[in-house]
A and B are shown apart, each in its own frame.
Chain A
Amino acid sequence: MQILQLEGTEDTPRIFLDKSKNIFEISGRSLPEDAAEFYKPIIQWLSDYAKDPNPSTELIIKLEYFNTASSKLILDVLSKLEEIKNSKVIWYYYEEDEDMKEAGEEFSELVDVPFEYKTY
């Protein structure tokens, strides 16, 4: 399966989705105006991956900022994991950033996927 890799920019996150290395990561800033357009290939990649996933999948989400337009799409990404057996979200937040911690907890209440929280 093709690797999906996108370098981060000042308003879009870095994406690294690699089935063979078993690394799945979204990090940086997510502030695009057209979030649907940006997340489309990511959601498509995960849909394809869900058909034949690895024995376990850990999606790392390490965001500094995300806008409300992205939040709906992040929820879509997380919902994709519901279709994948043995999947889990590793939600990173800057240790004093209560807002980001809370955002992770709220997403975890909206999807049926286990979350693990880590600080940096």
Chain B
Amino acid sequence: MALVAYLFKQKPMKYIYEIQKIMSSKNLMLVYEGEFTQEITKSVLSMAERNLETKGEEMTIKRKVFNVMVECLQNICKHADSHDNEHEKEAVFMIGKEDNNYIITSGNFISNDNVESLKEKLDHINSLDKEGLKNLYKELIKNNELSDRGGAGLGFVDIARKSGSKLEYDFERINDNISFFSFKTSIPITKE
């Protein structure tokens, strides 16, 4: 987005067109940046759902996309609470299309203390096959510990299962306290 910032300085109105171009070239259907709450989650979901319906997307794909969106958005909501700084509560959520996949991406700030454990959780999920994921899912709901910090990664396990794809992620260290966590899920449009 450095380009957008530069243009904003040079030609104050130009950034609108630049954002439109980026969204169009990346095939982004929806982008939301700001604070996340359950109310915002509901609005984003209903907009995305209407968008998928307009596109005449197949029911099974639509449901997978919807499920992944719910888990992503609620993950962000849960983690936003752990920040005191208003700016750090802000996050970004996008849904778009790339080749033959729906792409759901999110980005939010997390405390550096949590980076290692989150990375381990995601790597563990990515190391499992379909059967392994199913067993982990059952294990986690059976133990039934309603931890308020993301239910021991149950959401991520569900995302991996529904999408059938590996979870992609990145951590960008911002300062001594926080990092920016980027997360991407691909949902193949063609049925297996």
> A interface vs B, CB < 8 Å?
10-11, 31-33, 36, 64-65, 67-69, 71-72, 75-76, 94, 96-100, 106, 109-110
Residues of A within 8 A of B142 (CB): 75, 110
What are 26 A-B residue pairs whose CB atoms fall within 8 Å in the complex? Answer: A10-B45, A32-B38, A33-B78, A36-B146, A64-B63, A65-B66, A65-B70, A67-B70, A67-B71, A68-B71, A68-B141, A68-B151, A71-B141, A71-B158, A72-B141, A72-B144, A75-B141, A75-B142, A96-B59, A99-B60, A99-B64, A99-B161, A99-B162, A106-B138, A109-B138, A110-B141
A69 neighbours in B (Cβ, 8 Å): 74, 151
Which B residues are CB-close (under 8 A) to A109?
138
Which residues of chain B have C-beta atoms less than 8 A from A96's C-beta?
A: 59-60
Known: A10-B46, A68-B151, A99-B162. A94 touches B138 (CB 8 A): no
Name B38's contact: one of A11, A64, A94, A98 (CB within 8 Å). Answer: A11
A65 touches B138 (CB 8 A): no
Q: Are B146 and A99 in contact (CB under 8 A)?
A: no
Please, how many angstroms separate the alpha-carbon atoms of A76 and B141 in the complex?
10
Q: Verify A76–B138 contact, CB threshold 8 A.
A: no
Interface string of B156-175 (1 = CB under 8 A from A): 01100110000000000000
Residues on B with beta carbons closer than 8 Å to the beta carbon of A72: 141, 144, 146, 151, 154
A11 partner residues in chain B, CB cutoff 8 A: 38, 42
Question: How many angstroms from the CA of A114 to the CA of B158 in the assembled complex?
Answer: 25
B42 touches A106 (CB 8 A): no
> B112 at the A/B interface (Cβ < 8 Å)?
no
Given contacts A68-B154, A68-B155, 5 further A-B contacts (CB under 8 A): A11-B38, A36-B146, A65-B70, A75-B142, A99-B162
- Contacts A65-B70, A99-B67: A71 and B154 contacting too (C-beta < 8 A)? yes
Asked whether any CB of chain A lies closer than 8 Å to the CB of B15, the reply is no
Considering the chains assembled together, what is the distance between the CA atoms of A32 and B144 in angstroms?
17
Q: How large is the interface on B (under 10, 10 to 19, 20 to 34, 35 or more residues)?
A: 20 to 34
Does B26 make an interface contact (CB < 8 A)?
Answer: no
**Chain B residues with CB under 8 A of A64:** 63
Residues in B with CB closer than 8 Å to A110 are 138, 141-142
Shortest beta-carbon distance from A113 to chain B in Å: 15
Which residues of A lie under 8 Å from residue B158 when comparing CB positions?
A: 68, 71
B183 at the A/B interface (Cβ < 8 Å)? no
The 10 lowest CB-CB distance pairs between A and B, nearest first, are A68-B154, A33-B38, A68-B158, A68-B155, A67-B70, A72-B141, A96-B60, A71-B141, A72-B144, A31-B70
